[in-house]
Structure 1
């Protein structure tokens, strides 16, 4: 297996082909309020792009379902968030699933704890959602779970790194007994090496869930730093902090070129590396992110795993 030193730029810049291959089948995230400002997603996203719908606390389920229906009608596979801590009980979960399926033909879901500290009801983790058996009962074809290359504040505070890895092992085990395809969609990070080390560690621990790596799309530096701190991004935040200290770059928008080039180079040299796809968080706007993806070779007309 080839080895790369990802701290030296000259060894990590891949050919255009490597970047294009790495971006194939990328997914992207929207919220109902941002989706409502897009006249037509067909003007932005290539056919077949998987679109996650983020469910922020306080967003009515009716708005989530309406957004899912609209995207489905425009021809995009939809993957809404199911945040465990804002779902009151199993009856509520079953109702949400029925609404999504009945009105928007949803067959995919991202299951996560959710960004609230105190549960609204019976659930506090994505594992509890899976244990209900309701997604398998409803015939969901794909379930994604959250991954955290730089740790998870919610889990770390209680059990440290061992608890994070134990949760990942549980999800691996569940993937072997569900009919749905599973993958791990991650929090965004700004540096390749911690991501590479984390994915390789998962595989060494026998956790073979494909990784859909979270990447922050182009945005103003101040915007990214704000979101990164709020979302608990770890040591790779220093990439942004270092950039903020350079007056010549302070006002220039951040672009994820460096981290994606490094990951694309590693993937090209190590085809079995566990990253399956790129998942964009369009923190600087979905139009900006979609155009950047097109300009850098992203073409989601043939998703790797629809």
Structure 2
């Protein structure tokens, strides 16, 4: 398929319309810079990184809310040192109107820093809804996880969805980014075959430098061999260049449309190249589709 070919307009809009983006706790200036380019009401995920503190995360979530977007703060289970730390974070989020939607993930530390060894443990704690949480996003890994077996990933995905359903909490599945649509669409089909009907947000990098993209791919165990990256739309021989997800989104839109019972599938942009660059890229991509 040609890099600039696009599928039928409804196919693209179903995938791209209502996209979500991600920012770090310290990137409030980037959010404000990109504000005019991001549609009002867009979901903005706020990370929970080891080099960020409580005030930084809450300030960022408040900035998202104040800017007219929907904050989705991250909760990194293995970074939580105690239940009281989780409660303090949720309480602070609730005070700034940013606790209704959260993303609960296991997190990077191999050894938990407190009582929660997984996202499932946080969900099972019963603490979330005490602070107004109504929707919980959980992680999906179409290409697997470098440190977790596929069996364990599927087991936890099913248990998390079941627990959220039992607690009357809405679920959203947010995937790690990928360069290849084939494992993504296969994974979506497998999720639906398990009877999980939660909306799926497929992670994809916004436009960024090739070297930067490959660095993140290695960090998260994402396949990045020559055949796959060529299919995505860039070359390993041009590491100084930049790449956008044009071809990935075009192909994925067609595959989702062709897949029976794919359910609700939308995009989540990892803004490795900056929030404004990502938002403006989306505007140009949709304009090209409409032309």
Same fold, TM exceeding 0.5? yes
Q: Secondary structure at the match of 1:33?
A: coil
Matches of 1:169 and 1:237, distance apart in 2: 33
Displacement after TM superposition at 1:258 (Å): 1.1
2:99 corresponds to which residue? 106
Name the residue aligned to 1:232: 221
Output the TM-score relative to the length of structure 1: 0.86
Q: 1:285 aligns with which of 246, 260, 274?
A: 274
- Kindly tell me the number of residue pairs found equivalent between the two proteins: 284
Structure 1 SS opposite 2:207:
coil
Query: CA contact under 8 A between 1:107 and 1:139: conserved in structure 2?
Result: yes
Query: In the TM superposition, what is the alpha-carbon distance from 1:87 to its structure 2 partner?
Result: 0.5
For structure 2, the residue ranges without an aligned partner over 5 or more in a row are: none
Q: 2:73 aligns with which of 51, 57, 80?
A: 80
TM-score (norm 2): 0.90
Show structure 1 runs of 5+ residues with no match.
1-7, 299-306
The 4+ residue runs of structure 1 with deviation greater than 6 A are none
CA deviation after TM superposition for structure 1 residue 235, in Å: 5.9
Alignment partner of 1:203 is 2:192: yes
Shift in Å at residue 140 of structure 1?
1.1
How much does 1:172 deviate? 2.2
Match of 2:84 among 46, 66, 91: 91
Moved more, 174-183 or 270-279: 270-279
**Aligned residue for 1:26?**
19
| Alignment partner of 1:189 is 2:184 | no
**Residue of structure 1 equivalent to 2:235:** 244
Residue 162 of structure 1: CA displacement? 1.5
SS of structure 2 residue aligned to 1:297? helix
> 5 Å matches for 1:160-179?
161-179=150-168
Q: Structure 2 vs 1, CA of residues 72 and 183 (structure 1 numbering), >3 Å: closer, same or farther?
A: same
- Cα RMSD, aligned residues only: 2.2
Superposition deviation, residue 275 in structure 1: 4.5
Match for residue 54 of structure 1?
A: 47
Structure showing greater relative contact order (alpha-carbon pairs closer than 8 Å, 6 or more residues apart) = 1
